Each structure stands twice: as structure tokens, then as C-alpha cells.
Amino acid sequence: MKNPTDRRTFLGAAATAGAFFAGRAARAGEAGKPALLGGEPVRRASFSSWPRTDARDENNLLEVLRSGRWFRGGGDKVNQFETAFAELTGAKHCVAVANGTSALTTTLSAIGVGPGDEVIVPPYTFIATVNAVMLQYALPVFVDVDPETFQIDHAKIEAAVTDRTTAVVPVHLGGSPANLDAILETASKRKLSVVEDACQAHLAEWRGRKVGTLGTAGCFSFQVSKNLSSGEGGAILTNDGDLAERCYAFQNNNRGRAVDSYNFRYVGGRATNLRLTEFQGALLLGQLTRLEQQSATREQNAAHLTSLLREIPGIAPAKMHEGVTRNAYHLYMFRYHPDAFASLPRARFLEALKAEGIPASGGYSPLNRESFLQAALDSKGFRRVFSKEVLDGYRDRNQCPANDRLCEEAVWFTQNMLLGTRGDMEQIAAAVRKIQAHGADLAKA
């Protein structure tokens, strides 16, 4: 060191507190050149890997493998999982299915959503929510989002209801519950079913109750990216015993729960085979033992990250509705405002974050503007089922300006990034502050 005063200050600080030393090092990193412009990245280590497995998963899988009873009903793993998941969530019934999309398809079929119906959905969701509706030859009607929470704007649902509307599918996007009080009230007033798309919201809670148990039914996904995973997989929760039986029969070619292997009770109605295998049941039983602990870690880390990010001008972490008592944090979501970053475009901000060792995504693009919708509406089936007037008026009814803006501003971190340490959260915030400090240089380069 050139200057003895600097050296004394440095030694004194280091001797006083290790925390200060760490803070000083982090700030030195922030002051340095952005990694995108050739500087040192804030972080080199990768974040927690996903999916995670342990000896229990291996033993469960081997047990099924060696048994030769690989199919649902042959062994008992899927049944055991259904019982355990219902118990954990407080639902009366659980029906496992092949994936989250088939959970939605099964539920919509079982409640009788069909050709000519309209189903209210948010535009800020994974495409499966909408595909499941259209598979029934029903029209998805988009209700705009509330950009503060990223969830469906519940106050706009009622105005979208017509005499064709039979259901609303609120999505607990990112694991943060939509406003279930308001949605259930509107649904009850207008006599609509509520199918909760909880594919991202395992163990999330609304006023102390697990989501997926408050509506007519709740649908879950166990695709590998989800907080509870078996590669592919899904489940339906409901407190309605008849509905559970119809769901079970739908995914089992009209056969109800078996009494003995060929003595099924045929339930009736349209049906198909969407069964989960015993291998997936085995994986889920192991994964389920870790879900609570992992959810608690995500929640703690997310709260810390929010406390850091909300201090940064131009960063607006997604807010939660007042009734949310637990957020599953499948995604950590915030809005990015370039004005506070010397007009650095979001795409460049994402690149700069990645270069600092913080992978991030810009999330969904506007679903209600995608070409697959028009292609389906132009098909013979839809033209047979809906009047020209309804189809012609469709585009105008489905404008979602708040969602268009949200899709340009959103930034996501994936759930596995929340499974590490508080220090990981501090590095994420440090990277954002560093990019902000060098916004002008990054925008120019």
C-alpha cells in the first residue's frame, strides 16, 4: 500500500469487525468495472443446483424398479403420495396425474367446462393455463394483471363475465397467491367454478390455508423446474368427493378407484389416460420430505433479498396481497425501471447481471398477443362452436395494457437461487447496485 494512513485504517477496520471487512470487500467489487466491460464478476460460484436428491429417492426408485410394479395401482407409491399431499395441504382429496397441464385438463373436463364456454384467465402465466382451456373448445378470456403483485387484477374479473362464462382460473404466479377473497366472492356471486392454477405455488397460503384448497379445485405441477418435482407430474386437490371421483375416472379411462384389478366402476363421461407412474410417485414421496424445509429457506432468503432490493431506486419487488400468509417463491419477481439506470435497456441489464454471475430472465411475453390463439380461433372446431360475432369481437375484449407493460419491465430469479445463503442474496443486490453505478457506461458500450 502506497499510503500508510490507508493501511492503518484498513487494519483497524479488519481487526474491529469481520463483517465490516466483508462489507468493504463487497463494496470494492461494486465499485469495480462491470464484468460485462471486462471487470471482475461479483460472483463466480454457481447457485444451488436443482433438482436435489438424496438416498431416500434412490431407495424408493430402486424399490419400484425391482418390484416390476411400475404402474399406478400396481404398487402403492402414487396412492401414498396422494394421501401425504392431501394431508400436508389440508385438502380432503388428491388425485395425481401425469403433469400440471393434465391436472388442469382433467379438472376443467370434470367440472364440465366445454365447447362454447368462456373461462377467465390472466395473461401473465405459462401457456399451459390457456392451452388447457382451449383443449375444451372453450374461449380463454384474459383479464389484465395488477403490475404491483404480478397477479390477475381481481377488480376487473366481474366486467369480463358473460352468460357463456363458466369458470375462472386464477394463477398464483411465482408462488404468490392471487386475491382469493375477491375472486371467490365474484365467483360465488356469478356462479362460476374457481380452478386454482397452483402449478407454481406448492405450500403457499392464503389467510393460513394452503392454496389449491380454497377454490372448486387446485392444480399442481411437478415438472422438474417446480418446487416439488418428479421430472413430470401433477395433482389435483379438492374438498368435493364427487369431483375427486370424476377427476380420478377422467385420468383413468373412465375407471374409478379399483376394487380389484378388473372390477372397476365405470364413472361415465369423456375420459383418457393421464396416469402418473410409480417411479414418479416414488420420487415425489422423497421430495415431499424436504419441501417444507426448502420452502422456509426460500421464504427467508426472499425476505432478505426484498429488504435489500427495495432500497435500490428503479427496482420494485413484486408485492403480496394482504391475505398472503405464505409465498412459495417459485420465482423471485421484480420490475426494472431503466430511468434509474441511465436508460440501460432491460435486455442489457439482464446481460450485465449474468456477466456478474447472477442469472436472470425477463419472464413471459404477452400471451394474449400470441399467434396460436388466432390459429385456434380460425380452426373448424372453434368456428363451429362460437358465433362469428363472438370470434370477431374477441381481440378487442382481450387487450391487457398493464400486462404489456409488465412483460417489458419484469425480471425473474428462479427458485433454486433462494435455496442458498443470505450471502447469496447480498451478492445479488451488490450486482444490481454495481450495474446501477455503471449504468451510463453499460448503456454506451
Strand ranges of the sheet holding 118-121, from the earlier edge strand across to the other edge: 93-97, 234-238, 217-221, 193-197, 165-168, 118-121, 139-142
Stretch that binds ligand PLP, among 68-76, 124-132, 308-316, 332-340 (CB under 6 A): 124-132
Residue 234 makes contact with ligand PLP by CB under 6 A: yes
Question: In sequence order, what are the beta bridge partners of 152?
Answer: 145
Catalytic residue among 33, 226, 319, 354: 226
Cell numbers 433462494 correspond to: 418
Min dist CB 99 to ligand PLP, Å, is: 4
Q: How far apart are CA 15 and CA 388, in angstroms?
A: 78
Question: Would residue 226 show up in a list of annotated catalytic residues for this protein?
Answer: yes
Counting contacts by CB under 6 A, is residue 99 touching ligand PLP? yes
Contact string (CB under 6 A) for ligand PLP, positions 208-227, x = contact: -------------x-x----
Q: Where are the beta strands (DSSP E) in 149-267?
A: 151-152, 165-168, 193-197, 205-206, 209-210, 217-221, 234-238
Could you give the C-alpha distances from 386 to 118, 130, 204, 328, in angstroms and in order? 10, 17, 37, 38
* Residue 196 near ligand PLP by CB under 6 A: no
Sign of CA dihedral 110, 115, 117, 121: positive
105 forms part of the interface with ligand PLP (CB under 6 A): no
Say if strands 324-326 and 205-206 run parallel, antiparallel, or are unpaired. antiparallel
100 binds ligand PLP (CB under 6 A): yes
Q: Which residue is nearest to ligand PLP (CB)?
A: 100
User: Which residues face 238 on adjacent strands?
Assistant: 93
Interface stretch with ligand PLP, choices 43-51, 97-105, 151-159, 316-324 (CB under 6 A): 97-105
403 binds ligand PLP (CB under 6 A): no
Alpha-carbon distance of 174 to 201, in angstroms, equals 7
| Under rule CB under 6 A, residue 267 binds ligand PLP | no
Binding range to ligand PLP, per CB under 6 A, among 196-204, 312-320, 394-402, 428-436: 196-204
100 or 357: CB nearest ligand PLP: 100
Rounded Cα distance, 370 and 133, in Å: 15
Q: Does 229 bind ligand PLP (CB under 6 A)?
A: no
Nearest residue (CB) to ligand PLP, 175 versus 357: 175
Q: How far is the CB of 361 from ligand PLP (least distance, A)?
A: 13
200 binds ligand PLP per the rule CB under 6 A: yes
DSSP H or E run through 118: strand 118-121
Q: Which of 171, 291, 411, 435 binds ligand PLP (CB under 6 A)?
A: 171
Query: 346 and 338 in contact (C-beta within 8 Å)?
Result: yes
Q: How far is the CB of 228 from ligand PLP (least distance, A)?
A: 11
Query: Which residues lie below 8 Å from residue 176, measured CB to CB, with a gap of 6+?
Result: 149, 150, 151, 201, 204, 318, 320, 321, 324, 327, 328, 329, 333
Task: Characterize 308-340 residue by residue with b for buried, 16 or more Cβ atoms within 10 angstroms of its Cβ, and e for exposed.
Answer: bbeebebbbbbbbbebbebbbbbbbbbbbebee
199 near ligand PLP, judged by CB under 6 A: yes
Site membership for ligand PLP, residue 89 (CB under 6 A): no
| Binds ligand PLP by CB under 6 A, chosen from 109, 125, 149, 368 | 125
Of 30, 197, 245, 424, the one binding ligand PLP (CB under 6 A) is 197
Q: Which stretch binds ligand PLP (CB under 6 A): 51-59, 121-129, 267-275, 403-411?
A: 121-129
Among 129, 179, 193, 227, the residue binding ligand PLP under the rule CB under 6 A is: 129
Whether 142 and 122 have beta carbons less than 8 Å apart is answered as yes
* Distance (Å, whole) CA 150 – CA 412: 12
Q: How many CB atoms lie within 10 A of CB 101?
A: 23
What is the three-class DSSP state of 338?
helix
Least separation in angstroms between residue 85's CB and ligand PLP is 15
Applying CB under 6 A, does 248 fall inside the site for ligand PLP?
A: no
Catalytic residues: 226
Residues lying near ligand PLP in the complex (CB under 6 A)? 99-101, 125-126, 128-129, 171, 197, 199-200, 221, 223, 234
